[in-house]
Amino acid sequence: MLPLRLSAVVSSLILCFLFPPLLCLGIRSFPTTADDGAFFHYSEAPEYRNGAGCPVSSTRVSLPSWDPSLVHIAMTLDSGYLRGSIAAVNSVLRHSSCPENVFFHFIAAEFDPASPRVLTRLVGSIFPSLNFKVYIFREDTVINLISSSIRQALENPLNYARNYLGDMLDACVSRVIYLDSDVVVVDDVGKLWRAPITRERVIAAPEYCHANFTKYFTDEFWNDPLLSRVFSTRKPCYFNTGVMVMDLAKWREGNYRRKIENWMELQRKKRIYELGSLPPFLLVFGGNVEAIDHRWNQHGLGGDNLNGVCRSLHPGPVSLLHWSGKGKPWVRLDEKKPCPLDSLWEPYDLYKQVKDRVRDQNWGFSSSILVGYAHDLL
């Protein structure tokens, strides 16, 4: 009989080979010239190393995601929020006791102005030893399901990429932490990774049962006895989808992507909510979330969606700060109008601005290194 750890590795390898992600294509690195105008670049991050007692990772093989020692984190990667994403990665690595065992899955939009290839090279230049893949998200997968929202930024197709992680990531990745780009982690992410997900539950996240849950849906929804009955056997609480631990094995088995899409399709026909990608998650998972400590999502620091006013921390300890809402710390800092808590984000910022124009910037990467994967989700 194989030892338990070896059995897990063998089982994961079988899953990866038998059930690969749909239509994987390689993104390769090539030297690139910078666009005209001001060129924004980043300082190289420190090289973070594992502490004593960390498991030995095997991430130098061709299929690193099967390694059972890894902590998997999924994030979106786009030019508009790139500065936030880089700060978030930096914060995760700085506070992790085993940073070499963290593996990032970045989801980039197919038609991002910076292109997924450039974003991939940029991440590799900032974090030379980072374990990561970049996946191309086909926007036409979801574009016809998106309805208008109270804030245009909430209509970005990339906001819905979290719905498709079960399809995009390798089948052997059975658990992932999803993080928004406007967070910083100030604790060991391994603690969040080990959050239990019991029984039939699929996701774990901090819940906020004091919040007015009814405001996330329209009167048309609540006045329809058939629709509102969805919560008749549950006691739903608000949770923020910007920080979630997801059991991808259960997600795939229960076809939760399709359940979310069903509500999005109904929203196109009948206005049942206002807030972008959040309400479908509430409809599917509200009242059936594995609650974890509030310290893992001190959210709302970006202010409200209309005025972006400054907010303070919730009472209690803090492991993750989340600038959800209209205002982002990098924007306010650049405008010299920061909120008091934006100073907690600034130490993780690796961004620098070169005022002079930079032309013919060579990224200096070998074109032979495979650095990403593309997925066709149709």
In three-state form (DSSP H/G/I as H, E/B as E, the rest C), the secondary structure along the chain is: CCCHHHHHHHHHHHHHHHCCCCCCEEEECCCCCCCCCEEEEECCCCCCCCCCCCCCCCCCCCCHHHCCCCEEEEEEECHHHHHHHHHHHHHHHHHCCCHHHEEEEEEEECCCCCCHHHHHHHHHHHCCCCEEEEEEECHHHCHHHCCCCCCHHHHCHHHHHHHHHHHHCCCCCCEEEEECCCEEECCCHHHHHCCCCCCCCCEEECEECCCCHHHHCCHHHHCCHHHHHHHCCCCCCEECCCEEEEEHHHHHHCCHHHHHHHHHHHHHHCCCCCCCCHHHHHHHHCCCCEECCHHHCECCCCCCCCCCCCCCCCCCCCCEEECCCCCCHHHHHHCCCCCHHHHHCHHHCCEEEEEEECCCCCCCCCCCCEEEEECCCC
Residue 20 tokens read as 């690969």
Q: What is the value of pTM for the model shown? A: 0.83
Q: Is the pLDDT of residue 29 over 50?
A: no
| pLDDT for position 67 | 84
| pLDDT for position 349 | 97
Token look-up 């969606």 returns 305
Separation in Å, CA 9 to CA 6, 17, 70, 172, 248 = 5, 12, 12, 9, 17
Is 167:237 a contact under the CB 8 Å cutoff? no
Return the higher-pLDDT residue of 174 and 151: 174
Q: Which numeric CATH code is attached to 22-29+64-348?
A: 3.90.550.10
pLDDT digits (tens, 9 = 90+) for 49-59: 998 889 876 54
Residue 275 tokens read as 């807030």
pLDDT band for 185, please (50, 70, 90 cuts).
very high
Mean pLDDT over each residue of the chain, to the nearest integer:
81
| Type of residue at 302 | G
| pLDDT for position 41 | 82
Return the higher-pLDDT residue of 24 and 188: 188
pLDDT band for 97, please (50, 70, 90 cuts).
very high
| pLDDT for position 155 | 63
Min mean pLDDT across 127-131, 212-216, 342-346 is at: 212-216
Q: Is the pLDDT of residue 376 over 60?
A: no
Q: Is 2 exposed, middle or buried (0-12, 13-18, 19+ CB in 10 A)?
A: exposed
Return the higher-pLDDT residue of 138 and 16: 138
pLDDT digits (tens, 9 = 90+) for 104-127: 999 998 888 888 899 999 999 999
* Distance between CA atoms of residues 110 and 143, nearest Å: 12
How many CB atoms within 10 Å of residue 155? 16
* Distance between CA atoms of residues 207 and 190, nearest Å: 20
* Distance between CA atoms of residues 91 and 186, nearest Å: 7
* Distance between CA atoms of residues 29 and 370, nearest Å: 7
| pLDDT for position 212 | 87
| pLDDT for position 286 | 94
- Cα angle 178, 184, 190 (rounded to 5 degrees) comes to 60
pLDDT digits (tens, 9 = 90+) for 253-301: 999 999 999 999 998 888 888 877 899 999 999 999 999 999 999 999 9
* Distance between CA atoms of residues 114 and 111, nearest Å: 8
| pLDDT for position 4 | 42
Q: Is the pLDDT of residue 34 over 80?
A: no
| pLDDT for position 150 | 45
* Distance between CA atoms of residues 68 and 57, nearest Å: 8
| pLDDT for position 259 | 96
Q: Is the pLDDT of residue 307 over 90?
A: no
Is 216:263 a contact under the CB 8 Å cutoff? no
Of the candidates 156, 159, 150, the one whose C-alpha atom is nearest the C-alpha of residue 278 is 159
Burial 99-130 (b: 16+ CB within 10 A, else e): bbbbbbbbbbbeebebbbbbbbbbbbbbbeeb
Token look-up 């600034």 returns 346
| Type of residue at 41 | H
| pLDDT for position 15 | 52
Q: Is the pLDDT of residue 78 over 70?
A: yes
| pLDDT for position 37 | 31
Q: Is the pLDDT of residue 332 over 90?
A: yes
Q: Is the pLDDT of residue 32 over 70?
A: no
